A and B are shown apart, each in its own frame.
Chain A
């Protein structure tokens, strides 16, 4: 299901090949000079030689493969990519506009996009949209934020203590496979219909991807890295802090990103079932009262919101895992 959200890690920054070859300090230059005289083979340590001679290992491709563009070429390629994506969206909008007008779909149920845009604008100007958006965001972000605060430390703890992880494994597996949505009635029963129930519901749904990813991130740290750190005499605390945690960060972030998507998804559902504000309420209420344009305005808002949220998380994720090979 949400696996489709896992976009492959794309290069974040163009790698800059080292170009300066200044010997480090007095000691280092003396050492490399000495080595240069005693190792004629391949000029391995000749000062200034290595970086220029070396092939650009791992220099990441920033443009379409199969081309070797210069700076202008890169810009051009990027512009082309953007154009490609925008074109698809524009095409969709065009179809949405044309189909109702041409009578291909009933324009009462699917009004042209331009009319929806006008309705959206009215909603926004009237302040209603802002209110609903604020209500939804507050719930989503609270639940999501709490889930991060709770699930990451808990996951680290469970993952680090193997017996605990093994003990809790089956239970976690059970919860993972129980749709949060199926449990909404339970939340309503326990917490009622107010904010608490919605925030707890989001918190619950967001906890699982973060928790499970954190556990697996900690458990799957390359054993050789742990061995090598142990050989340096690192104690358990330093080992955790310097090896296990950084190694697990990318996996944890994948969980956080999934949770971000859930935060909006499940909240919407909760708001449709019982709420007096929020985008889910807006969509449902508009539909019930046959304000079809407003309904679509709400839908567009939620999808743009989801898009932006995911974009934000992907950007943060990239910043934290530049080292990861693609």
Chain B
């Protein structure tokens, strides 16, 4: 088995909320190992703390408790070893598609000449050849997201952290981008943490699916997903349906308990 790439050790995150007397616990006792080269999906209801966890792994915020290690070393802030695709497309509106991909390369200190070439290559990889000179507002939502993906791939991080990147897309576009992503992952061997609230998407993409519950956000189960073959329509595979149903039941039960707890005041 490949070595552990990301180790999340008993991580908790507490937010101080203005106007509230008690702090808000967004995450509690998160324990998760992501192996090198693994494609892990993280599924959970809206507001359960998925983005919060991703920010922590990205090094954009610090955990209130516990620690996060990458390659065995505690992380200290953001770094180019991790590429992030945010839930909302975070493109610089004054830069073209090419310029946006080059942005990450500038941060890495890639020489100017090489930058354009590499940016072009990665835009091609996500199917955007011919759109290099468009500004974000001249691109569709799906295209913008692909630019964001190209940007994260271009500076060649070991880890790709993706926060519901396909959530805002139509089914067709989403499916083709999912395939695209799997293909790129297969080619580059990166470690991917992919957040979604779509159960289908989680099962389709992930080698393992981590299921989260809310209030406070916890990981309730990690499911190994394995198919005999990925040929043909995977979603029609009976095994796919079983995984899907299993996760669905798990999430529904969680939702029911959460609802119940809310109704009966504690403390």
Contact = CB atoms under 8 A, between A and B. Distances in A.
A35 B125 contact: yes
B60 A35 contact: no
A10 interface: no
A20 B60 CA distance: 40
Given A28-B121, A227-B86, A233 B183 contact: no
B134 A28 contact: no
Nearest to B146: A44
Most buried by B among A24, A31, A324: A24
Interface stretch (B41-49, B103-111, B248-256): B103-111
A23 B155 CA distance: 21
Interface string A2-32: 0000000000000100101111110111011
Interface string B197-215: 0000000000000000000
B240 interface: no
Interface in B29-73: 58-60
Given A24-B121, A39-B183, A41-B176, A242 B106 contact: yes
B134 A18 contact: yes
Contacts, number: 137
Interface stretch (A45-53, A89-97, A272-280): A45-53
Nearest to B58: A231
A321 B93 CA distance: 10
Most A CB contacts (10 A, CB to CB) among B78, B126, B143 go to B78
Nearest to A59: B138
Nearest to B177: A44
Given A39-B179, A231-B78, A247-B94, A325 B137 contact: yes
Nearest to B89: A224
B52 to A, nearest CB: 13
Contacts of B183: 35, 38-39
Contacts of A224: 86, 88, 90
A58 B137 contact: yes
Interface string B171-193: 01101110110010000000000
A206 to B, nearest CB: 26
A58 B129 CA distance: 18
A228 interface: yes
A232 B78 contact: yes
A54 B131 CA distance: 10
Given A28-B121, A59-B138, A323-B93, A42 B130 contact: no
Contact of B124 (A32, A41, A234, A249): A32
A242 B100 CA distance: 11
Interface string B146-166: 000000000100000000000
B140 A225 contact: no
B172 A32 contact: no
Given A42-B176, A232-B80, A325 B131 contact: no
Contacts of A44: 127, 176-177, 180
Q: Which of A20, A44, A224, A225 has its CB near the most chain B CB atoms (within 10 A)? A: A44
Contacts of B4: none
Interface string B82-95: 10101010101111
Contact of A233 (B79, B93, B120, B127): B79
A314 to B, nearest CB: 18
A284 to B, nearest CB: 46
Given A44-B180, A57-B138, A246-B92, A18 B173 contact: no
B84 A231 contact: yes
A57 B140 contact: yes
Given A28-B120, A28-B129, A47-B129, A233 B180 contact: no
A59 B59 CA distance: 38
A225 B91 CA distance: 7
B128 interface: yes
A18 B133 contact: yes
Contact of A42 (B60, B133, B140, B172): B172
Nearest to B135: A323
Interface of A: 15, 18, 20-25, 27-29, 31-32, 35, 38-39, 41-42, 44-45, 47-48, 50-51, 54-55, 57-59, 224-225, 227-234, 238, 242-243, 246-247, 249, 321-325
24 contacts: A22-B129, A23-B124, A25-B121, A28-B121, A29-B124, A38-B179, A38-B183, A39-B180, A45-B124, A45-B180, A54-B140, A54-B143, A57-B134, A57-B139, A58-B135, A224-B90, A229-B103, A229-B107, A230-B60, A232-B103, A232-B107, A233-B77, A246-B92, A325-B93
Given A45-B125, A232-B155, 7 more contacts: A23-B124, A50-B131, A58-B138, A224-B90, A228-B90, A230-B78, A232-B78
5 nearest A-B pairs in the assembled complex, by CB-CB distance:
A58-B138, A228-B90, A45-B127, A51-B130, A24-B120
